[in-house]
Structures are given as C-alpha cells and as structure tokens.
Amino acid sequence: MNAQVTTPRQAALWGGRFRSTADEAALRLSGSLEIDAPLAAHDVAASRVHVTELLSLGLVSDDDAARLDDALATVASQLEAGTFAWRPEHEDIHMNVEAAVTEAVGPELGGMLQAGRSRNEEIVTDERRWLIDATRALVAAVRALQATIVDRAGTAGDAILPAHTHTQPAQPVLLAHHLLAYVEMLDRDAGRLADAARRADRSPAGSGAVAGSGLAIDRGRVAGALGFAGVTDNSIDAVADRDYAVETVGAIAILLGHLSRLAGELVLWSTPYVGFARLDDAFSSGSSMLPNKRNPDSAELVRARAARVEGDLVVLLSLVRGLPLAYHRDLQETRRAMIDAVDSSLLCVEVMRGVMASVAFDADRMRRAAEGGHARAILLAERLVAHGVPFRIAHHRIGRLVAQAEDAGIDLAELPAQEVAAALPELDGTAMPTLAEAVEAADVHGGTAPSRVRAALEAVRSRLAQEVSA
C-alpha cells in the first residue's frame, strides 16, 4: 500500500485545541500510513479487545458494543482483502480505523472507541504484537536453513578442504565440519531472536498517553485477550521505550552478519581460481555485456542486505538515545527500520536456504587445495611433542622444514623422506602423515575428526528435531 498525503488537509481529531489546519508539508512529514500498514490487522484486533473492555466497564451497551465490533470486523475483512479505503488525511492506522468505524456507526458511538487509551500505547501494542509474530516466523526460517545446511553436511562424506586463518591455508578439515560452523552460528541467532521476543511479549495496553488509563481497565485481561504473556509494569516506560525493536534488530544484524560471511565465502569459492563451489542457475546471473560471465548475485545481495540492516540498527539506536521521557514523535521512525530489518532478514534467510540446498561442491578441487599450504606441519610438530620435544622447539624445527620446502618450490608433504627423517630423527623415519591422518588427529569435542563430526551431526539433528516439535 503506497499511501501518500495528497488529499485536503485533515480535520484533525484534536481539532478542538487548534484554530487552523496543519501545513501540507507538515502533514506529509507526519503521515505514517506507508510505514504502519503491516501493523493494521493488529491495530484492529486491539481495538476489538478494547471494545470488549469498554463493555465490561459499562461504558457502552451490549448493542453498541456489537455495532462497534461489527464495524471493526468489516475493517478487518477489508484489510485482509486489500479493499480498505485508506484516507491519507487521517495520518496513521489508528485514525484511519477510527474514522472508518465512526463512518459506520456515527460520530457519537464512534467517538467512544478511543475512550481510555492513547495512540502512544496503541502503536506500541501493535508493534509488539507484530514483532512477536514476525520473530516467530524468522526463527522458523532460521531453523529451516539450519536443517538444509545439516543435510548438506550429512551428504558431504569425507570431502576435505583447507581451513583458513588470515585467509591463508591453516589445516585440513572435513567440509561437513566447516558447514556445521554456520549451523552453530545460526543456532545462537535463533536463540537471540527468541530471547528478544520473550522480552517483547508484554502488553502496554492501558498505559494511556503516559500516566496510565483513567478508566479502570483490567490490563491483565486485555493482555490475555491480545495473546500477550503479561503486562508492562510502568506506563512511562511502556510508551517511551523501543528497546524491544532495538534488541530484535540487533539480533537480526548479527544473523545477517553470519549470512553475509557464508555468502561471501560462496562468492570466493565460486571463482574459477578457487572452484570449490558452483551456485545453481536459479541464484546466479549473467552479464549485460560479457557472455562468459556467471555471477553469484544472490550471495552478493545478501551481503549488501547485511549492510543495510546494520544501518537499520544504527537508525534505531540513534533515534532512541537522549530522548527525555516519555513519548516523542521521533519514535515513529523506529517502525520503518524495524520492519525493513525483519523483511530483509526473512528474504535473505529464504534465499540462502535455496542457495545452500542447490550449491554444487567440488570435492576434488577442495582436496587438491587441502594438499597444499604445508597443511601437515602442525601434525608433525605435535608428533615431536609426543616424543618429548618441547612445542616451541618443535614449532621452530618444522618451520625450518617448511622454509626448506618453499625454497625448493614444493609442499612440505613433497619433501624427500630422507630429508624429513634427517631433520626429525625422533620420529624414527615415520612416513609423512596423510591428509586423512591430519584430519583424524583433531579428535576432541568440536574437532574435525570424522567420528567427532558424525557425533556433531547427530547432536544437531536431535536438537533441531526438538526445536521443531516444541
């Protein structure tokens, strides 16, 4: 819905206080329909609960409550069908809903809809409900991405590639072990999002503009009807703070940072010079000029969205810092950043799930790369340590062998056996360790030894199954 303020100046609902209408530019600045639209269904739901509360307080009759609820139900149906007639002169969703109800039931009864509440509390109620639902959907999407990566790790077999530090080859690891690193990152992301949603799950309804409603609203009853786990404990805090949005977008920024690392790795791996991976056609593009090009655009755009979400987080932090209590109109802009971050993350998680489900890995290229980089140096050093050589001395001696191999233009593993035996007499001529032995040596919890990786796969499968069934 692209709502723009192009109609005549509004007849403001606070018109009794003002003698002239608002400036057209000021209306365009204050209007928030294009930001608020995703929250509209929650706004109507909250209004229907409020009508029930007004009935409980004896402020409207049974018939009047039914008329108000019917009008709100009509608005809900129109919103769902996309036929609701938005009126930009009513600057936000609250005033649009109220205007539509008033038009349906008349000004006297319609004028009761706002009794005992403020837009300050309404928007926070709507935001929290929307955010809780959106977070649940995002956590489910993250779990689905984890499951996809676990599936790929489970089918990777004994594929080995070089692990890197400082973008330099370090040690050989199983591809499955490498992929499971991202599963662990995503597990923490899902946990952070769930934690943020738990703290957001408090109803501010009944907080009024700042001091609390002047009507004897049963806030606990309203919270239960709205699906909240509880109520906020301070009316000023309830309308003034947006830490639930900041915290959620912070968790999303970390999530997108992890997706960006995975995406960046796939961009690197898909270059012909590396050749570890090939993105499916569905997630690649060509060039408008160069017929030879195959570009990993989906992965690149995920990286870009990570930067955009970081910007959303900065916007939120900048908006809320330094604001004296309580509500300020500045807070209107928090919704735009919050919704953009959630929408971006849902899209990026979906894209990366498709990328990971379809990417083709080249195990032969990976293994050849793992054979280089003097990747067995640490295992030789540790074998010396097992024979009583202090590690720093072993490190120095193996380093000299690496330099010797580099001078000869070969890998450490290609040094003649007699040279290695002469340099490392403690090993009694033991053969240069194989790549498989180098991988198996990391036999600790969390290590890349095949048995440890198999155990890790089983553990994460069990964990994900429990999360899905919870």
Nearest of 371, 366, 385, 414 to residue 174 by alpha carbon = 366
Q: How far apart are CA 450 and CA 157, in angstroms?
A: 9
Residue 413's SS3 state is helix
Nearest of 118, 90, 98, 32 to residue 326 by alpha carbon = 118
Nearest of 125, 78, 129 to residue 101 by alpha carbon = 78
Q: How far apart are CA 331 and CA 239, in angstroms?
A: 10
**Section 125-129 average pLDDT:** 97
Q: How far apart are CA 79 and CA 60, in angstroms?
A: 26
Over 60: is that where the pLDDT of 18 sits?
Answer: no
Q: How far apart are CA 47 and CA 60, in angstroms?
A: 14
Helices (H) and strands (E) in the chain, counts: 19, 4
Over 60: is that where the pLDDT of 256 sits?
Answer: yes
- Least confident segment among 2-11, 366-375, 376-385: 2-11
Our measurement of the distance from residue 459's CA atom to the centroid of its chain's CA atoms, rounded to an integer in Å, reads: 24
Kindly report the pTM of this predicted structure: 0.92
| Residue 468 token pair | 């899905």
The predicted structure's pLDDT at residue 468: 78
The predicted structure's pLDDT at residue 5: 36
Q: How far apart are CA 427 and CA 422, in angstroms?
A: 10
**pLDDT class for 20, splitting at 50, 70, 90?**
low
Q: How far apart are CA 130 and CA 123, in angstroms?
A: 10
Q: How far apart are CA 311 and CA 142, in angstroms?
A: 21
Q: Which residue has the higher pLDDT, 148 or 34?
A: 148
**pLDDT class for 41, splitting at 50, 70, 90?**
very high
Q: What is the pLDDT of residues 428-456, one digit of tens each?
A: 888 889 999 999 999 999 999 999 999 99
The predicted structure's pLDDT at residue 3: 38
Angle between helix axes 93-105 and 119-154 (nearest 10 degrees) is: 120
The predicted structure's pLDDT at residue 31: 66
Known catalytic residues? 166, 287
The predicted structure's pLDDT at residue 8: 40
Over 80: is that where the pLDDT of 29 sits?
Answer: no
Domains in the chain (CATH in brackets) are 21-115 (1.10.275.10), 120-150+162-368 (1.20.200.10), 373-469 (1.10.40.30)
Residue 27's SS3 state is helix
**Cα dihedral sign for 231, 236, 239, 244?**
negative
